[in-house]
Amino acid sequence: MLQYTLRRLAHSLVTIFLVVTVVFLLMRLLPVEGYFGDSYDKLTPEQREAVLRRMGLLDPWYAQLYRFYSHLLRGDLGVSVIYRPNVPVREILALKIPYSLAFGMAALGLSLMAGLAMGVHMSLHKGGWWDKAWTGYVVFVNAVPAAVYHLFIQLYVTEIAGLPLLFSSFDPVSWILPTISMSLGGIAGYAMWVRRFMVDELNKEYIRLARAKGLPSRAIMIKHVMRNAFVPLAQYLPATVLLTIGGSIYIESLYSIPGMGGLLVDAIQRQDNPLVQALVLVYSVLAIIGLFLGDVLMTLFDPRIRLERQGATRA
């Protein structure tokens, strides 16, 4: 177990290094206007060159990359040049992360509870009206662009239910619609996977044997079917958790939530390249860490996985 975890950790670190390096190099291909803001047209070419040289952007790419990693290892993500000029990106993120964290955890909890319950209900009533109704919901969420039904919810549900149109930190009721909107995709995803795995487990030989032995249906569902059906979800749960905590970019912008998602949109619109770079790196690292935790979590929850020198294989 320890050997496998260390191996996967090493692979994840290498992946993070490659992603960070690629993102850094791609950001250097963007127009330099993003480092000047409104003052770009007011400066002469010589002044622009002097500013870029002072920022180290005229140095060779390998020198810039070395300097970037040197700062990154000290926790320095650079400074904003347009959004909040000369303010460290780390301080900006410190103000935004709590909002994304709070909404992400609330949406994740709702997704897990509603999605798992829906998936179990669909599998127990396979082919019935409830199964068809919930399947229609899953198909709708996956087929219709999220922006369409999110905008519909904000425009019409707020009026029908009398809920606030925008988020306010002083009004707890304004949390309701953003949280529900963030959780819609997760509910559909968990419901679909739980139904699929539970239906597969219900059709296996050991379940038929347990029924033939006279074991109570409740005991079969809890001790065998649900336990084995939920194991594959362990691989996707960490990534879902981390990415949900990162916040929904569209939802935060739609409801004016001062989190990381809205910050990324604002930084892109203002062409604040250092801030965009830092946010992209944060989201990328979160995704890779989530995949690593998913692999490790699978080895803890699934006893059928045998860890060998070649990696994890099913016994």
What's the confidence (pLDDT) of residue 176? 92
DSSP 183: H
With a CB cutoff of 8 Å and minimum separation 6, the contacts of 104 are: 182, 241, 244, 245, 246, 247
Domain residue ranges in the chain = 2-72, 93-314
Asked if residue 230 lies in contact with residue 193, where contact means CB atoms within 8 angstroms, the answer is: no
Half-sphere exposure of 152 (CA within 13 A, CB side): 6
Which among 235, 120, 105, 258 is positioned nearest to 182, based on CA atoms? 105
Per-residue pLDDT of the chain (315 residues; tens, 9 = 90+): 677 778 888 888 898 888 888 888 888 887 777 677 667 777 888 888 888 888 888 888 889 889 888 988 888 888 888 888 889 999 999 988 888 888 888 888 898 889 888 988 888 888 888 889 999 999 998 888 888 888 889 888 888 888 888 888 888 899 999 999 888 888 888 888 888 888 887 778 887 787 787 877 777 777 777 777 777 677 667 766 665 665 577 888 889 888 888 888 888 878 788 888 888 888 888 778 877 877 777 777 665 555 444 444 444
Rounded to a whole number of angstroms, the distance between the first and last alpha carbons of the chain is: 15
pLDDT on residue 243: 57
How far apart CA 308 and CA 276 sit, in angstroms, is 41
Per-residue pLDDT at 136:
92
* Residue positions counted in the chain: 315
Closest Cα partner for 137 from 159, 160, 119?
119
* pLDDT at residue number 312: 45
Instruction: Identify the architecture of domain 93-314 in CATH.
Output: Orthogonal Bundle (1.10)
Per-residue DSSP letters for 263-303? Answer: HHHHHHHHT-HHHHHHHHHHHHHHHHHHHHHHHHHHHHH-T
Half-sphere exposure of residue 194: CA atoms within 13 angstroms, side-chain side: 29
Helix (H) or strand (E) holding 207: helix 205-212
Q: What is the reported pLDDT for 245? A: 62
SS3 at position 88: strand
In eight-state DSSP terms, residue 81 is S
Contact 200, 161 (CB under 8 A): no
Q: What is the pLDDT of residue 303?
A: 57
- Which residues are CB-contacts of 268 (< 8 A; sequence separation ≥ 6)? 276
Pair 245, 239: CB distance under 8 Å: no
Other beta carbons within 10 Å of 278? 26
Half-sphere exposure in the Cβ direction for 63 (13 Å, CA):
7
Tokens of 252: 């935060």
> Which pLDDT value is given to residue 246?
56
